[in-house]
Amino acid sequence: MNDLAKQSQGSVGNPLGIDFDTPALKRKRRVRALKDRLARWYVSIGGLAVLGAITLIFFYLAHVVLPMFQGAELQPQDAAQPAWLAEAGEPLLLAIEEQNQVAMRLAANGRIQFFALHDGSPLSSVELPLPAGAGVVAVGRDQPGSRRIALGLSNGTVLVLEHNYRVSYPDNVKTITPQVDFPFGAEPIPLDERGRALEHVALSLDGDSLLLAGAVGPELRLVRLTREENLLTGEVTVERQGIELPQIADPIRELLLDPRQRWLYVLNGRATADVFDLRQRRLNGRYPLLSGQREVTAAASLLGGISLLVGDSGGGIRQWFMVRDAEGNARLQAIRDFRLGDAAIRQILPEERRKGFLALDDAGRLGIFHSTAERTLLVEPVAEGPVLAALSPRASRLLVEDGGQLRRFVVDNPHPEISWRALWGKVWYENYDKPGYVWQSTSANTDFEPKLSLSPLAFGTLKAAFYAMLLAAPLAIAAAIYTAYFMAPRLRTKVKPAIELMEALPTVILGFFAGLFLAPFLENHLPGIFSLLLLVPLGILLAGYLWSRLPDALRLRVADGWEAALLIPVVLGVGWFALAISGHLENWLFGGNMRLWLSNELGIPFDQRNALVVGLAMGFAVIPNIYSIAEDAVFSVPKSLTFGSLALGATPWQTLTRVVILTASPGIFSALMIGMGRAVGETMIVLMATGNTPIMDANIFEGMRTLAANVAVEMPESEVGSSHYRVLFLAALVLLLFTFVMNTLAELIRQRLRSRYASL
Amino acid sequence: MKRNDLKSWIKSGAPGVWMSGGAVAIAIIMTLGLLAVIAVRGLGHFWPADVLESDYRIPGQEPRVLLGEVVEVEEVPRARLLASGLPVAAAGGEFMTRELLKVGNRDLFGSDFAWVVGEWLANPRTPDEVLVVERREWGNFYGYLVNVKQDGQVVASGAAAWAELQERLERANRLQARLERLQRRDIGAINHGLERLRLKARKLELDGRLDAAAQADLEAERAELGARYQALERQLGELRRQVDRDSITLRASDGREREIGLGKVVRAYRPNAMSTLDKLGFYAGKLWEFVSDEPREANTEGGIFPAIFGTVIMVIIMAVIVTPFGVVAAVYLREYARQGPLTRVIRIAVNNLAGVPSIVYGVFGLGFFVYVLGGSLDRLFFPEAAPAPTFGTPGLLWASLTLAILTLPVVIVATEEGLARIPRAVREGSLALGATKIETLWRVVIPMASPAMMTGLILAVARAAGEVAPLMLVGVVKLAPSLPLDANYPYLHLDQKIMHLGFHIYDVGFQSPNVEAARPLVYATALLLVVVIALLNLSAVYIRNHLREKYKALEH
């Protein structure tokens, strides 16, 4: 490097006698040197920054994806010991409202106390209108997310109430006013005619029809109340209807109703569930819930009311729901198990927005679980012994009453529904008859169970890539070999750019062409397409043979290496012929409609936009990628090798198959890998040429949904930061890693090959 | 080589040669076939085809008159028609023809297109008087002109009506153009001004500087804009009345009559009476409309100018961003970085990024640029617009940036290749003459490598222009209310969403309610995109080859 600043060229000895050390020239040299250094810094920093920015993609995607796999966190807040708590009576129920500001506590003496969540200070209290001498013995809650409660009283009646919170803005300050409503009147509803205490109650409201269940010992009482409001007078009349069910022998431990009022689950005995079909008013079946000596200690229904969670004395929690068996009969099925510890499960708290739940055991241990993901997110002790707890509607706060203390916890559990198993494994979803791979990310209703299995998408991606490669690999490689090895150089300079121009074609154009032109065309010419596959090779061979039989005078006018040009009219002719006989074939073989024939005779479902269309269109997109790399590899096989082989008497074809292809095979392989990488990541073609249904079926006449297309479809509607959003990022990250690894391997193979050629 | 019989022919390996040659032929046919189909379908759409009138006789039903353009004819196995429930005679030829007619009159018939059985069309004719009216709503109308009215009074009917219509239509279109200009430019400017005033007031309020004086200022400005709006509104009302003055009565093929205001008519023509020369002129006009006009009817009619404009603007911004960064990175890699295993790894990585699926860049753009960068920009500089996002939502800037990242590897690789190709002697000569490294680079190496950079840039532009998947996430919409470049401050609206040719194809072809009607337009758009991209690529190839020649000359 010339460091001009330090150089000094004395005027002495300078043959021209020019003084290079005048102050002006010195200054200029310094400025030039400075500029040089600045440029070096600028380019180095700039270059590194640009290269860093590119790697940012990977890190950013990973940064978005990672929080999904973290567990839950529990942060204890200051405990409150409000004065009112001392004489408030034995607690039956705790609850928190939506905004995490007001909490509620129901005591056995029939008093509801509302208090501020953050410090436990009392807000208001309501004395429930209990009949004289009666107390609350049982509490039943409606589905998670509703604030309806049924209280079983000691005189055999039930009081139905709702704790509601009104939000108002007096003087622009948000104020939450708690209140207690009685939607079915403040008068308790008699359930046991003999006035015995109700040990267990359950309720379910569907529209205007309320179903109340109560248990006295082994006896079951069931009543349906239908509320009708007179539109003119606003008067409410309640119609009452008793429901008779077969009685059971064992004492009842727990009652649960499903929200559609179809099933009544009666947990009785040690660990048995009697399921009653309320529509047909009969016993559906008796199911043993646990084996061994363990017994049921807690039960709750999950959000949506389809799943039952049963906690046992051994610290296990098992999820059950009704499934249809092979004969179409509904039966209760054990789905999956969770484990909290060794102590008996005391309380199960379902989340109100997700299919997750919390559980507390007798040792005061808390566990956070998610049903679909089969995930245990956290197990931590929160108390010394059994306590009563409440979970806020957004599952962000936990309130525990522990020996005259109100203890608060902040629950941070943003993505419980994601686990390795939920993403890739077979999952038994609610309402499904068997475990399966399902992608169904969103739905209209709130108690929806997100089905975030990437398996069908990954399968669809590979299926699309497979059919594309099926077309592209043989065509591209054969074309590459021919162009590099046999083709006349003058033709090669024309053909190579033409095929490489294919690479530049926007995929949206291929996709639209496939979806709007090819798909209906294929559907109408199915027999023609299949005969095309057969006839074109035959036609080419026939043309080749006939050409060799032509008189030399004619044959020798066309030099070797122009076969491809000669074949263009042949292929066109055969193609035209195949399509022209398509209709006749269809009439002759398939009764005029091959599509119907396929689905009726063979039972193969047929979509218009199917894997065949995708294979053709995406194959088309991949051909130039494979072609240009494979062609390079074959073309750069050292000429000395081929000449040597030819000189030893091998035919050109023998030289090709035994020398050239063998030498170039790593290059051809890397071309295939790059083609595969492109087919896997292609978005627009699949988006437009398939129906985008996430199914797992290798049938060529059905569509698929790929990872890339799924991202394009669902990303714009996905809520930022939600699990769905992060799963889509994960899909992108998977694509990035897959193609990056494929391309890197291909590149390394090529570099090795290049150095090997150089050494030959 | 002896070639006596089949066996020796097979043995010679000729079948393999022919088969691999066949693969080349198939690849070429596929490419050219695709281009040909797109070109024929895209260009054919603008041709004013003859309108066919015919009696349609479905067996067992009263014949009715059909009027329309034949769009497609296909041969269908008789069995298939039978199976679809048509009263086709079971006996007869193996095939029947099925024709797709564009019958228009969507408001009367419910759909623009009708499939008919060719054998049942009797007595086909092309009467000169058939009038095709292109409307702003409800698509084309095919029928006969009954009369022309002014303010509800018939001014011409019968044969004289056609001449009258042409004259009055010209006037109506002139007025309509003025109306649109007023609406778009002048009222758009006022709305823009009002919005800026609102933001200014909010900003002052946030800064705590919204005192009485400022409020009065704003109020005065608002009042002035309001007054201008009132005046324009009056003008608009007057124009609308004038446009709606004339109307025409048309009779459809089934005898129903319909009155259409001339303000709703784009053009009216009688294709059957046109000579080939007339048709050519008409064709050119339609083609011009296609590239220069706004889309109508949910993008299924009219032009695609906003999409062309959006694509061009986006690509230009992308090029402005990607060129310096790409070149700096390439210069660093090739000229400054120490060549070793690390640079090799970087080089491979950069190369491979070009193969990463474009949707991944879209996801990155949405997550990082839009939500992270855009969200921070909004919080820092545009608190007055909250909660409406300014840059925290997909838009032009993010689309360009995403594409810049996507095409960065292309530019880096091409530039590096160009730098590597410059003979060592040239550099050494420069250094030996006493030039510093940067001087050598700036004065000698980079000018010599500039065609390579140009090639890289052109390839990048070609790739960017055709990319759709990432853009769906970061700023392209089906219908943008205004162009991203206009006369309102700050002139170039980087936060605006844009229309894009590629997305236009996807949207109109797959999301449009009336795919059949939009199809020809999709083909035409696709053709335009293909031509642009092919030209870009060919020029890149040309420059590259040219460059090679130059270096060859240098080496001797």
Is B351 an 8 Å CB contact of chain A?
yes
Which one of A271, A288, A305 terminates a domain? A288
Which of B6, B11, B24, B74 to substitute to test the interface with A, most A CBs within 10 Å?
Answer: B24
Alpha-carbon distance of B81 to B99, in angstroms, equals: 13
pLDDT at B92 over 80: no
**Full residue range of the structural domain in which residue A652 is found:** 455-485+493-759
Average pLDDT, chain A: 88
pLDDT at B360 over 90: yes
Q: How far is residue A548 CA from its own chain's centroid?
A: 59
Q: Residues A357-361: what's their mean pLDDT?
A: 93
Q: In Å, how far are A28, A79, A302, A407, B433 from B439, measured between CA atoms?
A: 13, 72, 73, 72, 11
- Asked whether the beta carbons of A439 and A460 are under 8 A apart, the reply is no
Is A544 an 8 Å CB contact of chain B?
yes
Let me know if residue A612 belongs to a domain. yes
- Asked whether the beta carbons of A351 and A324 are under 8 A apart, the reply is no
Pairing between β-strand A200-206 and β-strand A175-181 as defined by DSSP bridges: unpaired
The answer to whether the CB atoms of A505 and B530 lie below 8 A apart is yes
Shortest CA distance to A238 belongs to which of A201, A281, A183, A192? A183
Is B83 an 8 Å CB contact of chain A?
yes
Q: What is the pLDDT of residues B347-358, one digit of tens each?
A: 888 888 888 899
Alpha-carbon distance of A732 to A61, in angstroms, equals: 8
- Asked whether the beta carbons of A676 and A739 are under 8 A apart, the reply is no
CB interface of B with A, residues 86-125, below 8 Å: 94-95
pLDDT at B245 over 90: no
The answer to whether the CB atoms of A39 and B441 lie below 8 A apart is yes
The answer to whether the CB atoms of B328 and A47 lie below 8 A apart is yes
ω before B387 within 30° of 0 (cis)?
Answer: yes
Alpha-carbon distance of A27 to A42, in angstroms, equals: 22
Q: Residues A393-412: what's their mean pLDDT?
A: 89
Could you say which of A571, A651, A715 has the minimum Cβ distance to residue B12?
A: A651
H-run or E-run covering A620: helix A611-635
The answer to whether the CB atoms of A729 and B349 lie below 8 A apart is no
Q: Residues A453-482: what's their mean pLDDT?
A: 93
pLDDT at A62 over 90: yes
Residue A213 φ then ψ, to 5°:
-125, 140
Q: Would you state the structure tokens that stand for residue B283, as one six-digit string?
A: 């064709």
CB interface of B with A, residues 142-171, below 8 Å: none
Alpha-carbon distance of A160 to A140, in angstroms, equals: 9
Number of domain units in chain A: 2
Handedness of CA A244, A250, A256, A258 (dihedral sign): negative
CB interface of B with A, residues 376-415, below 8 Å: 405, 408-409, 412
What residue of B is the nearest CA neighbor of A473? B23
Is A704 an 8 Å CB contact of chain B?
no
Q: pLDDT class for B2, splitting at 50, 70, 90?
A: very low
What residue of B is the nearest CA neighbor of A536? B22
Let me know if residue A54 belongs to a domain. no
Alpha-carbon distance of B55 to B253, in angstroms, equals: 10
Is B362 an 8 Å CB contact of chain A?
yes
Size of interface A-B (CB pairs under 8 A): 350
Is A502 an 8 Å CB contact of chain B?
yes
Q: pLDDT class for A11, splitting at 50, 70, 90?
A: very low
pLDDT at A298 over 70: yes
Strand partners, A93: A106
CA angle A463, A465, A470 (to 5 degrees): 95
> In this predicted structure, what is the pLDDT of residue A225?
87
The answer to whether the CB atoms of B350 and A54 lie below 8 A apart is yes
The answer to whether the CB atoms of B359 and A681 lie below 8 A apart is yes
Could you say which of A51, A716, A748 has the minimum Cβ distance to residue B329?
A: A51
Alpha-carbon distance of B51 to B107, in angstroms, equals: 19
H-run or E-run covering B149: strand B140-150
The answer to whether the CB atoms of A40 and B502 lie below 8 A apart is no
Residue with tokens 């309640």: A238
pLDDT at A13 over 80: no
Is A506 an 8 Å CB contact of chain B?
yes
The full length of chain B comes to: 556
The answer to whether the CB atoms of B77 and A515 lie below 8 A apart is no
> In this predicted structure, what is the pLDDT of residue A470?
93
What residue of A is the nearest CA neighbor of B12? A651
pLDDT at B425 over 60: yes
- Asked whether the beta carbons of A212 and A160 are under 8 A apart, the reply is yes
Residue with tokens 């060549």: B339
Let me know if residue A592 belongs to a domain. yes
Q: What is the pLDDT of residues A687-738, one digit of tens each?
A: 998 888 888 888 888 889 999 999 999 998 888 888 899 999 999 999 999 9
- Asked whether the beta carbons of B78 and B120 are under 8 A apart, the reply is no
Classify residue B270 by its DSSP letter. Answer: -
pLDDT at A259 over 70: yes
Tell me the chain A residues in contact with residue B351 when contact means C-beta distances shorter than 8 Å: 743, 747
Shortest CA distance to B46 belongs to which of B219, B281, B254? B281
Could you say which of A512, A543, A568 has the minimum Cβ distance to residue B526?
A: A512
Q: Would you state the structure tokens that stand for residue B198, as one six-digit string?
A: 């609102």
Let me know if residue A468 belongs to a domain. yes
CB interface of A with B, residues 37-56, below 8 Å: 39-40, 42-44, 46-48, 50-51, 53-56
Alpha-carbon distance of A595 to A603, in angstroms, equals: 11
Which of A29, A50, A590, A751 to substitute to test the interface with B, most B CBs within 10 Å?
Answer: A50
Is B346 an 8 Å CB contact of chain A?
yes
Which one of A257, A288, A319 terminates a domain? A288
> In this predicted structure, what is the pLDDT of residue A685?
92
The answer to whether the CB atoms of A40 and B336 lie below 8 A apart is yes
SS3 for B355-403, per residue? CCCHHHHHHHHHHHHHHHHHHHHHHHHCHHHCCCCCCCCCCHHHHHHHH
The answer to whether the CB atoms of A564 and B409 lie below 8 A apart is no
Is B31 an 8 Å CB contact of chain A?
yes
- Asked whether the beta carbons of A387 and A360 are under 8 A apart, the reply is yes
* CB proximity list for A144: less than 8 A, separation 6 or greater: A301, A302, A303, A350, A351, A352
Lowest mean pLDDT among A315-324, A583-592, B260-269: A583-592
> In this predicted structure, what is the pLDDT of residue A37?
92
**Interface pTM, i.e. ipTM:** 0.89
The residue type of B166 is Q
- Asked whether the beta carbons of B37 and B49 are under 8 A apart, the reply is no
Q: What is the pLDDT of residues A657-679, one digit of tens each?
A: 889 998 888 889 999 999 999 99
Handedness of CA B421, B423, B429, B432 (dihedral sign): positive
Q: pLDDT class for B89, splitting at 50, 70, 90?
A: confident
Pairing between β-strand B95-102 and β-strand A296-301 as defined by DSSP bridges: unpaired
> In this predicted structure, what is the pLDDT of residue A308?
92
Tell me the chain B residues in contact with residue A732 when contact means C-beta distances shorter than 8 Å: 359-360, 363-364
Q: Residues A234-262: what's their mean pLDDT?
A: 84
- Asked whether the beta carbons of B146 and B157 are under 8 A apart, the reply is yes
Which one of A231, A263, A288 terminates a domain? A288
- Asked whether the beta carbons of B80 and B126 are under 8 A apart, the reply is no
pLDDT at A1 over 50: no
Domain ranges of chain B: 52-126, 140-273, 306-517
Residue A446 φ then ψ, to 5°:
-80, -25
Q: pLDDT class for B554, splitting at 50, 70, 90?
A: low
DSSP string of A116-166, one letter each residue? ETTT--EEEEEE--PPTT--EEEEEE-STT--EEEEEETTSEEEEEEEEEE
* Cβ neighbourhood burial of B230 (10 Å; 0-12, 13-18, 19+): exposed
Q: Residues B293-311: what's their mean pLDDT?
A: 86
CATH code of domain B306-517: 1.10.3720.10
Tell me the chain B residues in contact with residue A543 when contact means C-beta distances shorter than 8 Å: 18
Q: Residues A481-509: what's their mean pLDDT?
A: 87
> In this predicted structure, what is the pLDDT of residue B3?
47
pTM (global) more than 0.95: no
**Percent of chain A scored above 90 by pLDDT?**
36
Q: Residues A682-690: what's their mean pLDDT?
A: 90
The answer to whether the CB atoms of B357 and A682 lie below 8 A apart is yes
Could you say which of B25, B431, B439 has the minimum Cβ distance to residue A567?
A: B25
CATH number reported for the structural domain that contains residue A266 in this entry: 2.130.10.10
Is B281 an 8 Å CB contact of chain A?
no
Q: Residues A254-278: what's their mean pLDDT?
A: 89
> In this predicted structure, what is the pLDDT of residue B423?
87
Measure in Å the smallest separation between the Cα of B126 and chain A Cα atoms.
30
> In this predicted structure, what is the pLDDT of residue A732?
94
The answer to whether the CB atoms of A653 and B13 lie below 8 A apart is yes
Tell me the chain B residues in contact with residue A720 when contact means C-beta distances shorter than 8 Å: 371
The answer to whether the CB atoms of A651 and B1 lie below 8 A apart is yes
The answer to whether the CB atoms of A474 and B23 lie below 8 A apart is yes
